Structure 1
Amino acid sequence: MIKSMTAFSQGSKTHGTITADVTIRSYNSRHLDVSFYCPEFCQVFEEDIKKIIAKTHDRGRIDIKLFIRDDAKDLDQFEVDEAKAISYFQALKKIKQDLNLSGDIYLTDILAARNVIVSSKKEQDSKDLWEPIRLCVETASADLDIMRREEGKNLYSDLTSRIDYIEKNLKQIEKDAAKIPPIYKQRLMERISYLTSDTEELDPVRISQEAAILADKSDVSEEIVRLYSHIRQFRDIIDSDNSQGRKLNFLIQEFNREFNTIGSKAGNASLSHRVVDLKSELEKIREQVQNIE
């Protein structure tokens, strides 16, 4: 079953005091292109996260945003810059001596200096971080795959109806094309009759040969046979379990080539209009195929 490349999912997992939240969005892309946005201390997990994504997804631009929250009570810590505190105290004493000032130097005076006491975060164990990250990314990746498959069902239904429409009209083109050789022969006879009305009668064998040459140039039977083959192949691809987007893109090009040839050979207005209609339908299929993994 085909999968769409456009989808969205999110996941959240808690392990101990650490909670990991992730959102994943996927878009159309020729290749698998994973972008990772996270706090700096989580960047060490980027390659592992990409491996999780690659297990389920073959194509698409996938944006991952990871958020981490740690509810540990001892997470916030404070450190004293002793060297700076002592230096600041010595500077206060020197000012007091130089200016012959009275009074004591208190702790609040030292704390008035910037960055004597600074906040620091407790260093987190990478193992404690990886477990909730792994769980939430695996869950979100699986949910993304489910959503891409659901979107794929809609694409499958649309593509099936469009390829059925093309096949139905191709049968009519086949009928119309069978009428072209006699039409060319009749036109040739009428043209020759007009041009040779005052001359002796031309060799009917030669006329038949010329008509056969024109008929051969207008013959589209080979193109029609190949189109039927492409239709069968199209259905086989969208029913397969493998990634189908690239194959369908190439196949659409082959469809276009055959329709262009038929259009250039067509000597019938209704046949030409039908070809134009099918090329328009094929363009709609091409647009939908861009969404397929």
Structure 2
Amino acid sequence: MIKSMTGFASSEKTGEGFEVITETRTYNSKYLDVNLRLPYEYSALEERIRGLIGARVSRGRIDIKITIRESNTSLVEFEINEEKALAYYNALLRLKDKLGLDAQIPLEMIAGAEGVIKPAESKKDVEVQWPLIKDSVDEALDFLDRMRRKEGEYISRDFIMRIENIETLLNTIESESRDLLLHYTERLKDRISVLTKDTIETDAGRIAQEAAFLADRSDISEEILRVKSHLNQFNIIMNSGEPAGRKLNFLLQEFNREFNTIGSKTEKAIVSHTIVDVKSEIEKLREQVQNIE
């Protein structure tokens, strides 16, 4: 099953006292590249979350953002920096004396100073909260997988159409490349006739020898056989259910190599033109392969 590398999905899970929101977005990339954003106090869970992702996604860049909202505000505590509060108060007293002011220093002014009162750093029991976080990540990855599979179905249909086009074009090349011995024999006779204006009697044995040499040098039966094998392998990989992007990309390089060899061997214009059409299809396949896992 072909899967696209691009997609988006999200999941929201609510538990006792907190809510987990997981958002995922994937992009094309040669390798697996995970960009995970997780609240600092839950950083101990990072490797576990990366493990969940790595088990489901094998290729592509994935941005995953996990937001955790705690609804139980009664558990929020604050701490006072007494040294900073006293230093700030003393500074205000000195300023008051220097300016000769007769005014009270309100508590709000001291409490509002930066760093005097701040939320206490509480240690999270991540093991208690891990099951809900895992459920949210798993659900988001499920939704993401469905979306990538659906887009992969459209890409698969395009692959099938282009592979069928290549098979048709290959049949044309194979058909036009038959009877090469007869082709070169007639061509040599015509050339000799034009050059000598039929004033010299041709040596049939020598012509047959030269024609056989040219036909052997232009034989593309091995290349055609290998291309047919590659076409079959392409279909097998595409339907294997395993990540196919890297394998198909390598196989397309083999396609190009074989058709370049065929193009260098042939002297028939129709075969050369057909190879141009084949290469156009291969390039379109190559562009699509960059989009799959």
1:238-267 Cα deviation digits (max 9, x unpaired): 111222111111110111111112222222
Partners in 2 of 1:141 and 1:132 — Cα distance?
Answer: 14
Deviation at 1:193, TM superposition (A): 2.7
Q: Are the counterparts in 2 of residues 15 and 131 from structure 1 also a CA contact under 8 Å?
A: no
Query: Matches of residues 77-156 of structure 1 in structure 2 within 5 Å?
Result: 77-87=77-87, 108=107, 111=110, 114-115=113-114, 117-121=116-120, 123=122, 124-156=124-156
CA shift in 2, pair 1:205/1:38, >3 Å: same
Partners in 2 of 1:158 and 1:96 — Cα distance?
Answer: 80
Matched position secondary structure for 2:243: coil
TM-score by length of 1: 0.88
Instruction: Give the counterpart letter for 2:149 in structure 1.
Output: R
CA shift in 2, pair 1:96/1:210, >3 Å: closer
CA shift in 2, pair 1:109/1:292, >3 Å: closer
Partners in 1 of 2:246 and 2:281 — Cα distance?
Answer: 19
State yes or no: 1:54 paired with 2:54: yes
Residue number in structure 1 paired with 2:22: 22
CA shift in 2, pair 1:100/1:31, >3 Å: closer
Partners in 2 of 1:193 and 1:185 — Cα distance?
Answer: 12
Partners in 1 of 2:114 and 2:169 — Cα distance?
Answer: 79
Q: Are the counterparts in 1 of residues 85 and 111 from structure 2 also a CA contact under 8 Å?
A: no
1:144-172 Cα deviation digits (max 9, x unpaired): 11211111111111101110111122112
State yes or no: 1:255 paired with 2:290: no
Residue number in structure 1 paired with 2:191: 191
CA RMSD of aligned residues (A): 2.7
Q: Are the counterparts in 1 of residues 88 and 110 from structure 2 also a CA contact under 8 Å?
A: no
Partners in 1 of 2:68 and 2:31 — Cα distance?
Answer: 29
CA shift in 2, pair 1:44/1:202, >3 Å: same
CA shift in 2, pair 1:16/1:273, >3 Å: same
The runs of 5 or more residues in structure 2 that have no matched partner are none
Deviation at 1:89, TM superposition (A): 5.2
How many aligned residue pairs are there?
Answer: 292
Deviation at 1:192, TM superposition (A): 1.9
Residue number in structure 2 paired with 1:286: 286
1:109-154 Cα deviation digits (max 9, x unpaired): 8736724741205623222443332111111112111211111111
Deviation at 1:180, TM superposition (A): 4.0
Residue number in structure 2 paired with 1:245: 245
Identity of aligned residues (%): 46
Q: Are the counterparts in 1 of residues 77 and 120 from structure 2 also a CA contact under 8 Å?
A: yes
Matched position secondary structure for 2:34: strand
Matched position secondary structure for 1:272: helix
1:57-100 Cα deviation digits (max 9, x unpaired): 11111111121211112244332333344455566677888999
CA shift in 2, pair 1:287/1:84, >3 Å: closer
Partners in 2 of 1:260 and 1:217 — Cα distance?
Answer: 15
CA shift in 2, pair 1:179/1:247, >3 Å: same
Instruction: Give the counterpart letter for 1:32 in structure 2.
Output: L
Residue number in structure 2 paired with 1:159: 159
Matched position secondary structure for 1:74: helix
